[in-house]
Amino acid sequence: MRVGQCRLLRRVASRTGATCRFFSDISSSGSSVHLHPHHRVHLLFGANTDVGKSVISSGLVRAAASAGCDGWQPPVNYIKPLQCGGSDESFVLLNNDQQEGRRMNDIRCQTLFSWKTPASPHLVSRWENAPVSDEEVVSKLSAVLRDIDNTKNNDADNNLETASITTIIESAGGVLSPSSSSPFNKTTTADHWGWSTQADLYAPLRIPVVFVGDGKLGGISVTLSSLEALWTRGYRIDAVVFIEGESDADNNEYDSIQFGKGNAEALREYMSMRHQIDPSKEVYDELLRDDNAIVCLPPLPPMPIPLDEWYRSNEGSFLRLHQLLDKKWRIGA
């Protein structure tokens, strides 16, 4: 985006009385989303693009949608704050519309900001001249979560002891991938609109995380680096999920190697070693306490085979993950 356009937007904002409150002002305020203890919210981060965040999001929505009690099925919400090209919301709905006995109006999906170009948000917001600031994203997401929390449901009030409203939020790209850029972000310079990383963008909301690791060969380093980036920013990570990757080796001798399973085991070993070195850091021990907190799922079928059978065969894994997340939310709420 050219400098002249950046300056023009600043002049327009000044003339129209628009205020410019930067992301640092939000994070320094210590604000967070305070929700009802029976409205469970989890934020999905991934080690990188194409590790399966939307696949896991859809599986968690399916599990929550089938976890009703005494005939009552609590609402399930899916939110995609930033969407660049395509529609992850449509993917989630597509993979949830075949469940027997499930009313589709109980699954509510929202995309908050979207662009047409399939590229990084910080670029497409410049290319399409459609800036979205950090404050806009955080404020709109906070408002949507409050609206969900404030929705009154008589059936829900009668079942709060045994079921919770679930909201799954899916981030874009990897942990340190850019968010959308805007001239109203503090990091804006004379040369470009500023942006924050995904991890910095959502940190003020203090929402617990489900992290999708990289289940492919070479995925250990990016998985550990991403987790450390989240921990240093104060995130609570409730679960880590891998999807088994396919071997890139040409030699059939290596086709049977389960890199995802190996990466999950490497993560357990890493956290165990770090906890031994510094027992005061509970972030490592918290994930090691429950066997279901680190999960490796089977590889996805090759395209264009639908995922219906894959989801059905892994219903037990997603249900156990759902129950674990629900338990942790109730304890931490």
pLDDT by residue (tens digit) across 262-304? 999 999 999 999 999 998 888 998 899 898 999 999 999 999 9
Percent of the chain with pLDDT over 90: 65
Query: What's the burial of 315, exposed, middle or buried (CB within 10 Å: 0-12/13-18/19+)?
Result: middle
Provide the token pair at 249: 């080796």
pLDDT tens by residue, 90-146: 999 888 875 555 554 488 999 999 999 999 999 999 999 999 999 999 999 999 999
Max Cα–Cα distance, the chain, nearest Å? 68
Average pLDDT score over the chain: 84
**Which range is least confidently modeled, 71-75, 122-126, 172-176, 277-281?**
71-75
Is residue 214 a contact partner of residue 263, using CB atoms and an 8 Å limit?
Answer: yes
The number of CA neighbours under 13 Å toward the Cβ of 96 is 30
The pTM of the full predicted model, rounded to 2 decimals, is: 0.86
How many other C-beta atoms are found inside a 10 Å radius of the C-beta of residue 256? 7
